[in-house]
Amino acid sequence: METIQKARTLLKQEETLLLLFIVIVTLISPIFSPEFFTSYNFSNLLRQISYPAIVSIGMLLTVLIGGIDLSVGSVMQAVSLTAIMLVQLQAPTGVIVIVVLALGLFLGLMNGMLITFGKLQPFIVTLGTKVIIDGTTLFMTKGKGISGEASDSFLSIGGGYMGAIPNPVIIMLVLYIIGFILLNKTIFGRQIYSVGSNRVAAYNSGINVKKVQLSVYALSGLFAAIAGLLIASRTGAYQPMSGNSGATGMELSAIAAVVVGGASLSGGKGTIWGAFLGALLAGLLFNLLVFLNMNPYIQQFILGIIILAAVIFSASKNRK
């Protein structure tokens, strides 16, 4: 019990420090661009943050059980492609939403089954499915973008507003509230932490470890599908992209958010609030780099440095 309390105290300290960094970045950004505090920039910034932030919820769940999901960006690509193909077939918006979310759940469940019943390493499994999905989408499109005559109801999902707030931001906030309730107020949430902290002890205490694993990876696929749907419905088109707008790099953005937010890659440690702060800080930093006209490749380099620094910091705290 004392160990758990120390871990919680440590997490709160890390989250407080993270919040301080966010305040500092926010205060210095106007120095480099007077446009930072404009409503347009804030709206665009929050929209861009919402995609990796949503994916980060699923990534956090997999990390909490001691796993990882490198296929989330590719699931987004598959979902976006499927959505636009259904748009071309003039499928109703409700049908498109159901089909693509079911696809995300299915792909996540496949990862979970291979890891759970095949007893394979999550890193290898999700890397393999990532390559398979990427290869399939590239083969189907020959590496080119596709578009269709999307309905207003479909476009409003990712491109609409609720007042002055973009719909993706509203959806992100709702999902984070759900994630908080799931992890902190339900038996399933406690089971996730137990499995990540000590898998054998969790099994011996009566927790169905296999069921938890399957559920977590299915949810990871679902959250990735939601982000993919939002991107597709914003533009009404599928376009192989990189960075925060597409598949390549999205898994890195999600991992960065989770790790910077205080989660341990060994499992059992992390909070939904920390993941949100991590995604927010990463988004603010990239926004600042854009104002500085930083080369996009340098941005990826900096992202890698952020992940490495967060892992080193977390490891040093754990040793202490």
In this prediction, residues 164-176 reach a mean pLDDT of: 95
Residue labelled with tokens 């398979």: 132
Which runs of E-coded beta strand occur in 173-245? 237-238
- pLDDT given at position 37: 79
Q: What number of CA atoms fall less than 13 Å from residue 1's CA on the CB side? A: 0
- pLDDT given at position 130: 93
- pLDDT given at position 38: 82
- Look at 290 and 111; give whichever has higher pLDDT: 111
Residue 121 has pLDDT above 60, yes or no: yes
Phi, psi (deg, nearest 5) at residue 214: -60, -45
Q: How far apart are CA 170 and CA 124, in angstroms?
A: 34
Q: Quick: pLDDT tens for 48-103.
A: 999 999 999 999 999 999 999 999 999 999 999 999 999 999 999 999 999 999 99
The residue type found at 156 is: S
Q: Quick: pLDDT tens for 266-291.
A: 888 899 999 999 999 888 888 888 77
Q: Which of 21-25, 41-45, 120-124 has the highest mean pLDDT?
A: 120-124
- pLDDT given at position 7: 54
Q: Which class for 238: exposed (0-12), middle (13-18), buried (19 or more C-beta within 10 A)?
A: buried
Which runs of E-coded beta strand occur in 150-253? 161-162, 165-166, 237-238
Q: Provide the Cα torsion 76, 81, 84, 85; round to 10°.
A: -140
Encoded tokens for 295: 């080369």
- Look at 243 and 177; give whichever has higher pLDDT: 177
In the structure, what pLDDT confidence band is assigned to residue 8 with cuts at 50, 70 and 90?
Answer: low
Report yes or no: 107 and 75 within 8 Å, Cβ to Cβ.
yes
> Could you tell me the CA-to-CA distances from 301 to 92, 186, 256, 289, 291 in Å, in that order?
42, 39, 12, 12, 17
DSSP H or E run through 263: none
Encoded tokens for 117: 């019943």
- pLDDT given at position 105: 97
Q: Which of 26-35, 48-57, 139-148 has the highest mean pLDDT?
A: 48-57
- Residues 6+ positions from 147 with CB-CB distance below 8 Å: 84, 236, 237, 238
Report yes or no: 219 and 58 within 8 Å, Cβ to Cβ.
yes
Encoded tokens for 179: 């994630």
Residue labelled with tokens 């500092």: 24
- pLDDT given at position 244: 39
- What predicted TM-score, i.e. pTM, was given to this entire model? 0.90
Average model confidence (pLDDT) for the chain? 87
